[in-house]
Chains A and B, each alone.
Chain A
Amino acid sequence: MTRIHVTVDGVAYSDEVEPRTLLVHYLRQSLGKTGTVVGCDTSNCGACTVHLDGVSVKSCNVLAVQADGHEVTTIEGLAEDGQLHPVQQAFHECHALQCGYCTPGMIMQACDVLKDNPDPTEAEIREGLEGNLCRCTGYHNIVKAVQQAAGQMRSASSGSGETADATEAAEVSA
């Protein structure tokens, strides 16, 4: 067993873990962060996507010990003070989810795409989400949601005059 110190959704944890424990299993089983889910065993589906120090990772592809000393944001830490993140809101508005199983990973990845590229084309959105599988929506409304969120986040950040986009803001405060 190895001791790790990790901050998840703004809370500091210190735990003994088996060195082989995947980050996703640590989140789900040790911390009860069941919002992050497992969809495959080959890191293809992206359902387990979280942010590690603000960058999206597939948490089935990261060992818990690799998160030692780092900060993790999951879907459960994305909304602030009961305010949905613009990407969460856009997924709701655009009906970008049906069963909702891929949704946490898809939202976390969409945030990452928009952080890198606040004004993506449809093709750039589609490429950016390529590592996250959805079986329900055919991706049509997911792409629309990301476009809508991008627009809202751009106008919000230009309106407030702040340089950090909403994604970053959410992560910093988390």
Chain B
Amino acid sequence: MTITEDAPTAGPEIGKARRRKEDQRLITGRTRWTDNITLPGMLHLAMVRSPFAHATITAIATDEAKASPGVIAVLTGRDLADGQGVVANAWPITTDQVTPTHLPVAVDRVACAGEIVAIVAARSAAEARDAAELVDVDYDELPAVLDLKEAVKDEVLAHPDLGTNTSAVWTLDSAAQGSGTDVEDEIAKAREDGIVLEREFRQQRLIPAFMEPRSTVCDPTGEQMTVWTSTQVPHILRFLVAATTGMPESKIRIIAPDVGGGFGGKLQTTPEEFATIAVARRLGKPCKYTETRSESLLSGHHGRDQWQKLTLSARKDGTVTGLKVELLADLGAYVGVVGGGVPVLGAWMFNSIYKFAAYHFTVRTLLTNKTWVDAYRGAGRPEATFAVERMMDELAAELGRDPLEVREQNWIRHEEFPFTTVAGMTYDSGNYEAATARAKELFGYDALRAEQQRRREAHDPVQLGIGVSTFTEMCGLAPSRILGALNYGAGGWESASIRMLATGKVEVLTGTSPHGQGHETAWSQIVADRLGVPFEDVEVLHGDSQISSKGMDTYGSRSLVVGAEAVVRAADRVIDKARPIAAHLLEASVDDIEFTAGRFGVKGTDKGITMAEVALATWTGHNLPDGVEPSIDADATFDPDNFSFPHGTHLCAVEVDTETGKTTMRSYVCVDDVGTIINPLIVEGQVHGGVVQGIAQALWEGAEFDEQGTLVTGSFVDYTLPTSADTISLVTDHTVSPSTYTALGTKGVGEAGAIASTPAVVNAIVDAVRHLGVSDITMPCTPERVWKAIQVGSAGATEGERGAAAHFDDGAPNQDSPQPSDTTEGGAQ
């Protein structure tokens, strides 16, 4: 035994812009995407999908396909009916939620285009795809309901046997739950002597559009079935495969190898996964299915898709008093794993950072014959943030005041934290003043306002608009007790294990399942600091149910806030277990041992021993205290007490050409407060990516269906992701208000950018043309829509028809522009 006098110190890793451990493989092409996996004897699958939005399957002729070269089998839904499992909904938001059964492969009826009706298994992917063309399916078309507002009427039913399109109605009311006054009272008061704003916004349907198409390989040949799949949720998939197929959970191994992005789009347990497993088990051969991009856009779940009616009441001095939110949310044809829970996640966020006295939220989730809808980056919170940030700009416009000033009048001041909101959430910490002050400084807010004024006065055809978004969100899904109260089918805890290897290296097993977030790097930094070991000596293992057997996976900005907290606790247990061993080896009392920077020292002496030395001594087991087991490995499972509430101020300047409607982004500044930052490089990257996805919702993206229910944005030609040439460099900065609920003080950052940026951009565009009589533009704000809004606004202004008149009665999508018949609103009808 050596007693080291000079223990190695790793120095503080937390806060360091460590370059990622993950990169080396990814930049050299040494990758393990699911589609890269090839097993001996592996078959390739191709899916036969419904071209119809709603139809009865009357016959499927497979003979010709079966005779095609290389084809091993052609299986229909009926062939697989027993044991194919069910694509489950884990969150029935009400106890009487209407939830259609979602079979992976349809048997009698399809409820949206793209549903799988048959599967071809062949020697090669090309042969499978060729044969899929030869499967002849007879359909009897049924009437399809494709429009959310039509769906409410129940005239055409997405699932005739269910008798209604309404899946659930979920309400939160501040008066009823005792967290505020009655919203109707506040609105009535404001109608008498205040301001009432009524607006309706469209949250268009989006597609997550992760870059790696989904892929699944299932090897059923071992005693334990192994499934590699491109998923965010290997642990949830394992549970649901067991729960819905009857396979023992212990016979299922799920591996998420390298996963190429998710953004919520891969938190689903998919028909394709279940179908691949079913065919592989039926044939007793390894099978691979990899979707095409067109299949991905059509059959991977979509996001957003709401109509939002907002009523905001305020006093004449601009103090907000009440907010009433009435949502229609399109679930598509089926209720996804989170499904109706997505709009519900927004329920606590419409009130945002503002001190409303009264609040009411109702969402009606509806079934239609379109692609199913579930979480997409932000999941419920971008929708809420968009609506309230648009409303705050509308209020400022009504008052003729600066939008930041009106926000500040109403937001929670930094000295008021912790603050329990009108929706009933307790916000831990924040400093909206500091973030806003910094953002204004970086943006040059006052100078841009002055320029805007000059260009207005000069009647410049290119007008400048300034958009504001002072957002908050809730991260860290989620306290299990709250999930239980909300009827969610699982917990929100996270798990971690730390293995101290004999050579001093450290293995960290995490239940989170990263797919681009850099957990291997960030977790290594955290563990390096906690255990005082070198960053390089920490190996983070994840994404395999045989290695990290327990977990709730990665979504909802939960990995750092919940998952890393479990890692911290496991590390602390390692130290606790090592302490008596160190004391024994140092021939000192446990009470005299102090652990700093990776070294157990004896108080008042220079005697000490490193963590690595304790690990080696524990492994040999030659000289341990009596009754102490020869292991300092430790596990921890962390269940959070509360959510965390990051916030930030995003400012956007756009130039709008009033003659063409074209929007050009000039600058974008965001100052986010995500609590303690583990790795600023990764945090900044998360903000960049999120911001651009949010900007894309404002300007470019929208999933559009035609009147037959065919997705017309079914390729990257038509579903227009932003390119490098469309985007600009962003200015990012941070303020830090550590979370008071987490040991590390972190708050979560994965979704922040996408939540914040959309309203900043739309507010900027509206701000640029508001003087032309425009007060809203439906997203995506294409040049055509902006130009039309200007035409209608200008005409309205000269005719003196504009005003604050409510528009709810006429059912028009927005108050500013009666939509021409050839233009679909929100890109989705």
Which A residues contact B (CB, under 8 angstroms)? 18, 20, 25, 28, 33-42, 44-45, 47, 74-76, 78-79, 84, 88, 91-93, 95, 97-104, 107, 122, 125-127, 129-144
A94 to B: closest C-beta gap in Å: 9
Number of contacting residues on B, CB 8 A?
Answer: 56
- Are B689 and A133 closer than 8 Å at their CB atoms? no
In the bound assembly, the distance between CA atoms of A76 and B293 in angstroms comes to 24
With an 8 A cutoff between CB atoms, is B213 at the interface? yes
Q: Which residue of A lies closest to B19 (CB)?
A: A92
Question: In the complex, what residues of A have CB within 8 A of residue B294's CB?
Answer: 41
Q: A101-B33, A138-B692, A138-B727 are in contact. Are A84 and B212 (CB under 8 A)?
A: no
In the bound assembly, the distance between CA atoms of A162 and B756 in angstroms comes to 48
- Are B727 and A95 closer than 8 Å at their CB atoms? no
Q: Which of B28, B515, B516 contacts A84 (CB 8 A)?
A: B28
With an 8 A cutoff between CB atoms, is B433 at the interface? no
Question: In the complex, what residues of B have CB within 8 A of residue A42's CB?
Answer: 293, 715-717
In the bound assembly, the distance between CA atoms of A88 and B259 in angstroms comes to 20
Question: In the complex, what residues of B have CB within 8 A of residue A140's CB?
Answer: 688, 692, 727, 729-730
In the bound assembly, the distance between CA atoms of A5 and B618 in angstroms comes to 58
Residue in A36, A44, A74, A144 with the greatest tally of chain B CB atoms within 10 Å: A44
- Are B292 and A41 closer than 8 Å at their CB atoms? yes
Q: Which of A34, A76, A99 contacts B260 (CB 8 A)?
A: A99
Question: In the complex, what residues of A have CB within 8 A of residue B681's CB?
Answer: 95
- List the 10 closest A-B pairs by CB distance, nearest first: A35-B29, A100-B26, A101-B260, A99-B516, A138-B692, A44-B716, A98-B516, A75-B29, A138-B688, A40-B293
Question: In the complex, what residues of B have CB within 8 A of residue A25's CB?
Answer: 126
Known: A76-B28, A138-B689. 12 other contacts (CB 8 A): A20-B126, A34-B36, A75-B28, A95-B19, A98-B517, A98-B518, A103-B26, A129-B723, A130-B724, A132-B724, A138-B727, A140-B729
- Are B691 and A39 closer than 8 Å at their CB atoms? no
Q: A98-B516, A127-B725 are in contact. Are A35 and B691 (CB under 8 A)?
A: no
- Are A99 and B729 closer than 8 Å at their CB atoms? no
- Are A100 and B258 closer than 8 Å at their CB atoms? yes
A-B contact count (CB 8 A): 177
- Are A135 and B210 closer than 8 Å at their CB atoms? yes
Q: Which of B28, B516, B690, B722 contacts A35 (CB 8 A)?
A: B28
Question: In the complex, what residues of A have CB within 8 A of residue B515's CB?
Answer: 99
Q: Which residue of A lies closest to B30 (CB)?
A: A35
Q: List 10 A-B contacts (CB under 8 A).
A: A35-B31, A39-B213, A42-B293, A76-B30, A84-B27, A100-B25, A101-B210, A102-B211, A139-B688, A140-B730
- Are A76 and B29 closer than 8 Å at their CB atoms? yes
In the bound assembly, the distance between CA atoms of A100 and B505 in angstroms comes to 27
- Are A133 and B20 closer than 8 Å at their CB atoms? no
With an 8 A cutoff between CB atoms, is B721 at the interface? yes
In the bound assembly, the distance between CA atoms of A74 and B28 in angstroms comes to 9
- Are A92 and B33 closer than 8 Å at their CB atoms? no
Question: In the complex, what residues of A have CB within 8 A of residue B334's CB?
Answer: none
In the bound assembly, the distance between CA atoms of A141 and B263 in angstroms comes to 19
- Are A34 and B213 closer than 8 Å at their CB atoms? no
Q: Which of A40, A100, A144 contacts B22 (CB 8 A)?
A: A100
Q: What DSSP secondary structure best describes chain B's contact surface?
A: loop
- Are A135 and B688 closer than 8 Å at their CB atoms? no
In the bound assembly, the distance between CA atoms of A132 and B685 in angstroms comes to 18
Question: In the complex, what residues of A have CB within 8 A of residue B19's CB?
Answer: 92-93, 95
In the bound assembly, the distance between CA atoms of A99 and B25 in angstroms comes to 11
Q: Which residue of A lies closest to B687 (CB)?
A: A138
Question: In the complex, what residues of A have CB within 8 A of residue B685's CB?
Answer: 95, 98, 136-137, 141
In the bound assembly, the distance between CA atoms of A47 and B515 in angstroms comes to 17
Question: In the complex, what residues of B have CB within 8 A of residue A76's CB?
Answer: 28-30
In the bound assembly, the distance between CA atoms of A95 and B292 in angstroms comes to 28
Q: Which of B714-762 contact A (CB under 8 A)?
A: 715-717, 721-725, 727, 729-730, 753
In the bound assembly, the distance between CA atoms of A28 and B695 in angstroms comes to 35
In the bound assembly, the distance between CA atoms of A91 and B259 in angstroms comes to 19
In the bound assembly, the distance between CA atoms of A41 and B24 in angstroms comes to 28
With an 8 A cutoff between CB atoms, is B209 at the interface? yes
Q: Which of B212, B715, B722 contacts A44 (CB 8 A)?
A: B715
- Are A133 and B721 closer than 8 Å at their CB atoms? yes
In the bound assembly, the distance between CA atoms of A136 and B23 in angstroms comes to 14
Residue in B35, B515, B716 with the greatest tally of chain A CB atoms within 10 Å: B716
- Are B516 and A34 closer than 8 Å at their CB atoms? no
- Are B211 and A92 closer than 8 Å at their CB atoms? no
In the bound assembly, the distance between CA atoms of A125 and B24 in angstroms comes to 23
* Contact mask for chain B residues 1-43; partner A; CB cutoff 8 A; 1 contact, 0 none: 0000000000000000001101111111111010110000000
- Are A34 and B29 closer than 8 Å at their CB atoms? yes
In the bound assembly, the distance between CA atoms of A103 and B682 in angstroms comes to 16
In the bound assembly, the distance between CA atoms of A78 and B30 in angstroms comes to 12
Q: Which of B223-280 contact A (CB under 8 A)?
A: 258-261, 263
B3 to A: closest C-beta gap in Å: 39
Question: In the complex, what residues of A have CB within 8 A of residue B261's CB?
Answer: 98-99, 101, 135-136
Q: Which residue of B lies closest to A146 (CB)?
A: B724
Question: In the complex, what residues of B have CB within 8 A of residue A36's CB?
Answer: 29
- Are B28 and A92 closer than 8 Å at their CB atoms? no
- Are A92 and B293 closer than 8 Å at their CB atoms? no
* Contact mask for chain B residues 74-94; partner A; CB cutoff 8 A; 1 contact, 0 none: 000000000000000000000
* Contact mask for chain B residues 288-299; partner A; CB cutoff 8 A; 1 contact, 0 none: 000011100000
Q: Which residue of B lies closest to A98 (CB)?
A: B516
Q: Which residue of A lies closest to B694 (CB)?
A: A138
Q: Which residue of B lies closest to A123 (CB)?
A: B725
A33 to B: closest C-beta gap in Å: 8
- Are B691 and A99 closer than 8 Å at their CB atoms? no
Q: A127-B725, A133-B723, A136-B261 are in contact. Are A37 and B23 (CB under 8 A)?
A: no
Q: Which of B212, B722, B723 contacts A99 (CB 8 A)?
A: B212
- Are B716 and A79 closer than 8 Å at their CB atoms? no
Question: In the complex, what residues of B have CB within 8 A of residue A103's CB?
Answer: 26-27
- Are A125 and B211 closer than 8 Å at their CB atoms? no
With an 8 A cutoff between CB atoms, is B693 at the interface? yes
Question: In the complex, what residues of A have CB within 8 A of residue B136's CB?
Answer: none
- Are A135 and B211 closer than 8 Å at their CB atoms? yes
Q: Which of B31, B688, B723 contacts A100 (CB 8 A)?
A: B31
In the bound assembly, the distance between CA atoms of A45 and B210 in angstroms comes to 11
